[in-house]
Amino acid sequence: MQNNQRTIFEALKWASSLLTEAGRDQNAAELLLMHVLGWSRSELLARFHDPLPEEKDRLFSEFVTQHKLGVPVQHLTGIEFFYGRPFEVNKHVLIPRPETEEVVLAALNMTGDVFPHDQTLKAVDVGTGSGAIAITLALEKESLSVTATDISLDALAVAKRNQQALGADVHFLHGDLLEPVIAQGIKVDLFISNPPYIAVEEMDSLSEVVTKHEPVHALTDGRDGLWFYQRLVRDLHNVLSEQAVVVFEIGHTQAQDVKALLMQSFPAADVRIVKDINEKDRAVCAHIQNEKSG
């Protein structure tokens, strides 16, 4: 009986060529095949010349074709890694970016600088999406009591599943920005948010992999990209403790605008701009003495 099975190498070569021609990342082929086979990359490379079982080949080919058409790899595999941990993602949440890992690190570093390391602190993550920021903070710093909010019930459902899967202690609230936190009278020592900050006119410059498959309301404010920062800074004094750390993820052109917003509300704040690994402005961090607390 004739064997028409492709080898793993042949399947990868076909997929990489197809994706390159379509302007996609050819590395996606490896990620998709590793997912289909349930293998690590080292196992995949070690078994390059093994035949690819037909049912696995069919599924792999289907995934490659879908990614060629613009479906994100993470929506096909159902996960994205953040801070070394697997997070469930789907069409209801933004796919966590590596740059946001650097924002979390900046928050942890500044919190460590401002507060004693053994002090129990309260944190809030506004617009939590998949829960990546809130869950990572809770797991990386056990002395943090973390609350997370989102206006999307679908997003909160994803975040709660991630919380359960990763064993994090996070309290989730449904509502618009800081409203549910204010309603419960919660005061926090660390505020962090990665709000929708892409200006509406910049949306056309994004890949269709992003604009057609990730939630638009989590990408843009439909305005100039600063609207959510303005609303959040306006309400911050209602939720910050007497001494607090504030961390915003930002677009690379927004650092001075967001810094100015914070300085207007908190003139004595120590505000720093943090760059990412690509030397682009990525976060605005502030140490604030909140005179209106209480």
Annotated binding site for substrate: 194-197
- DSSP code of residue 265: H
Residue 31 tokens, joined: 């990620």
User: If DSSP codes are grouped into helix, strand and coil, which group holds residue 138?
Assistant: helix
Q: How many other C-beta atoms can be found within 10 angstroms of the C-beta atom of residue 82? A: 23
Phi-psi region of 225 (alpha: psi -120 to 50; beta: other; left: phi over 0): left
Q: Which residue type sits at 228?
A: F
Secondary structure (3-state) at 267: coil
CA-to-CA separations, 272 to 106, 235, 248, 264, 285, in angstroms, rounded: 10, 20, 11, 15, 5
Contact yes or no for 190/144 (Cβ under 8 A): yes
| Annotated binding residues for S-adenosyl-L-methionine | 127-131, 150, 194
Binding-site annotation: residue ranges: 127-131, 150, 194-197
Q: What is the rounded distance in angstroms from the CA atom of residue 265 to the CA atom of residue 75?
A: 40
Cα-Cα end-to-end distance for the chain: 80
Which amino acid is located at 88 in the chain? Answer: E
- Provide the phi-psi class of 263: left if phi over 0, else alpha when psi is between -120 and 50, else beta: alpha
